[in-house]
Structure formats: structure tokens, C-alpha cells
Amino acid sequence: MPYCSIVNGVSTGRHGLTNEQIYKLAEFQGFKCPLSGIELTVKDGEIYDPTTNKRISIDHDHDTGLIRGLLVQKVNWLIDQWEQNSYGALSMPPEILKYKKNPPAFESIGKVTYKKS
């Protein structure tokens, strides 16, 4: 089964999301990275980052632990760098601020806590 294993008849997904929630979130995002607009790839029932050919990154807030959305890897890294203050006095881009304030996951699948796989 894509992404996950089955435990007691339930798909366990990854990082706290079930397989169904990952797909629902990707669908809600229009199968695109909400910040870059890059179209996500679906193959064999899994969602992939077309820039890396790896499974899509599940972005989460490192302070609250809540999942925010599905991002291409480089965008996920960029947000992480901003959150670690890697850019000093430079202001975070408004697109990232808007995404963080209203993450697609909250409206699509609710507030789900990220779990390390």
C-alpha cells in the first residue's frame, strides 16, 4: 500500500497522516505546492515531488508540531531556513507568512500533529 503499512485494518500513513489524509490534502492543494505552484506528481497512488522524484515533503510547524501542508523539498527547506533565522534581518516573504498563518492542512484535514517516522 502506498506510503504506509496497515495496523489493525487502518492505514498508518506517515508523519501522523493516513494515506487518505495525504491524498485529501494534495487534492485540496490542487495537486500543487501551495507556495511554488509546482505541480505534484501522482504515480502508483503516491504523491511525489517532481523536482526530486522523492515522496512529497510533509511540512510542519516545529514549535506546535502541527502539519501545515505538502511542499516541494526546496520550498520546505527554505521555510525551515527562515524559521531558523538563517537570513538575519531580512523579512520573511509575504507568501510564506500567509501560508504559515493559514496552512492548507488546517482547512483540509484539521490540526494533525506531525510524528517522526
Q: Cα–Cα–Cα angle for 87, 88, 92, nearest 5°?
A: 60
Model pTM score = 0.86
CATH code, residues 6-108: 3.40.1800
Question: For the chain, which residues make up each domain, given as ranges?
Answer: 6-108
- Closest by alpha carbon to 54, among 87, 76, 83? 76
- Name the phi and psi angles at 43, rounded to 5: -145, 135
Assess contact for 103 and 69: CB atoms under 8 A. yes
- Print pLDDT tens along the chain (117 aa): 343 333 433 445 688 898 899 999 999 999 999 999 999 999 988 899 999 999 999 999 999 999 999 999 999 999 999 999 999 999 999 999 999 999 999 999 999 998 886
Who's near 117: CB < 8 A, 6+ residues apart?
A: 14, 15
Are 39 and 103 in contact by the 8 Å Cβ rule? The answer is: no
CA distance 6 to 40: 25
